[in-house]
Structure 1
């Protein structure tokens, strides 16, 4: 019993750490920016993009004050914290940042962007139309009922299987609605 309590506390601490990291919008922006890139980012790139998001202007319209304010907070606070938790690899000498495999554990807590989810309603509407056509063919004695039933069942199972697989891969990779990051 004591071991179960200890394991629950360790899991709870990890969850607390995740929420601690995600409690700051700049850290969420860092995670988003790095997660959507395939290569490391420099602290200058991060500072510019985050300042642009915070001020809701393009990066090329930023003034040095806004960029520097973000740069300092990233350099002194946010990047070292992500590095300490094993979420990002922050190389102060090179000024580069990359996500680690540990980021997968925390990214799943970020909000999912609505536009990136597939809307399967239309797939089911299409399958329903096909089913109606097949049933009309049965009624017109053009198609045997058993064949129509098998085709409809196979279509339904295929669609549900596809939705399940897409949902799993989307759950692993989907991320972020910038408005919900703030």
Structure 2
């Protein structure tokens, strides 16, 4: 790639994406939204490759990934202008040019419900119901306030759990798609 070129050539993009570790680097930095250390990257990528939590990694797995990132993958991303790799500081950060690569990865947010609306609607319904109990407005005159509060508390917990499952499923689907690009 020439240094005068500001756009990434398609062959270069495919070259960058041809390796799962480079895809993982771009995915991790993009979803994180800020720079990371090589140690953080190596730990997370080794955990993904071994399908275990970062805390369960042994030094050998972490070191193997670290060496390949340090010697091969990070310099390549830096050479193509996708990331800024500071060897002295041991940090990596995506550049604006990375957006040209990210569009090929399954990291875009999927259409998920606007949960803010659900939370506002639930809170509004809870306030109205509790006002109905406090003011003795039928049909709330026969329902204890504690029962009304309990029903809305359970509804809130269910909504939070639903949002959590939906959000984590999207992240897991993205990782599976990254692995299957090989």
Confirm or deny a common fold (TM above 0.5). Answer: yes
Alignment partner of 1:177 is 2:171 = no
**Structure 1 CA distance for aligned equivalents of residues 37 and 57 of structure 2:** 17
Q: Note the 1:15-26 alignment, pairs <5 A.
A: 15-26=10-21
**Structure 2 CA distance for aligned equivalents of residues 13 and 37 of structure 1:** 23
**Structure 2 CA distance for aligned equivalents of residues 181 and 16 of structure 1:** 19
Alignment partner of 1:50 is 2:23 = no
**Structure 1 CA distance for aligned equivalents of residues 97 and 45 of structure 2:** 22
Post-superposition CA distance 1:45-102 (Å, at most 9, x none): 0000000000000000000000000000000000000000000000000000000000
TM-score, structure 2 as length reference: 0.59
**Post-superposition shift, 1:112?**
4.7
- Compared with structure 1, are the counterparts of its residues 107 and 25 closer, same or farther at alpha carbon in structure 2 (3 Å cutoff)? same
Runs of at least 5 residues in structure 2 that lack an aligned partner in the other structure: 114-170
TM-score, structure 1 as length reference: 0.59
For 2:80, the equivalent position in structure 1 comes to: 85
**Displacement over 6 Å in runs of 4+:** none
Contact 2:37/2:92 (<8 A) preserved = yes
Runs of at least 5 residues in structure 1 that lack an aligned partner in the other structure: 1-9, 120-173
**Structure 1 CA distance for aligned equivalents of residues 107 and 26 of structure 2:** 13
Residue of structure 1 aligned with 2:111, choices 117, 125, 133: 117
**Structure 1 CA distance for aligned equivalents of residues 8 and 56 of structure 2:** 41
**Structure 2 CA distance for aligned equivalents of residues 13 and 79 of structure 1:** 17
**Post-superposition shift, 1:13?**
7.3
For 1:99, the equivalent position in structure 2 comes to: 94
